[in-house]
Amino acid sequence: MSTRAKRLAGELLPLKKCPTGIPGLDEISGGGLPKGRTTIVCGGPGCGKTMLGIEFLVRGATEFNEPGVLMAFEESPRDIATNVASLGFDIQALARRKELYLDFLSVESSEIKESGDYDLPRWRRSALNASCSTRWKHSFPVSPIRGSCAPNSGACFAG
């Protein structure tokens, strides 16, 4: 029976997974993050959202030949590189080899004005997609591109 026929028949198909390469996480998540979907990780300051995103991207580049994009809103790429060096990750070397692209968007709180209805998760996905497609989509030798967006209230990962 074809995939479409199974869907029409009401059979549930398992989600395709994007392995993270992070020891333990792939086991408890049934194979990794949902492939082709956005996964949002929420938590307070300092709980490890950005570090999880960095490890997802580094392991994607080094273990699965999938380049990645990190879009940060609070820390500069240099600060992030310094922070993750203690884990043995040389993200600047990955960036030089175009296996990882680090982007930083500085927004001052005085520049933010809330106006009307908005969908923050969609905004985060749009920002990540814009960064991927406009700057680096054609620079990476392989696809798909892994993405991580690290705003202060949550982290988004696209597998």
Query: Could you give the strand order of the β-sheet that contains 146-150, starting from the edge strand earlier in sequence?
Result: 38-42, 154-158, 146-150, 68-72, 100-104
Domains of the chain: 37-107+119-158 (3.40.50.300)
Burial class (CB in 10 A: 0-12, 13-18, 19+), 83: middle
pLDDT in tens, the chain (159 residues): 666 666 666 777 788 999 999 999 999 999 999 888 888 888 888 888 888 889 999 999 999 999 988 888 778 888 889 989 988 999 999 999 999 988 887 777 676 666 666 555 555 555 555 444 433 333 333 344 566 555 444 555 555
The whole-model pTM stands at 0.67
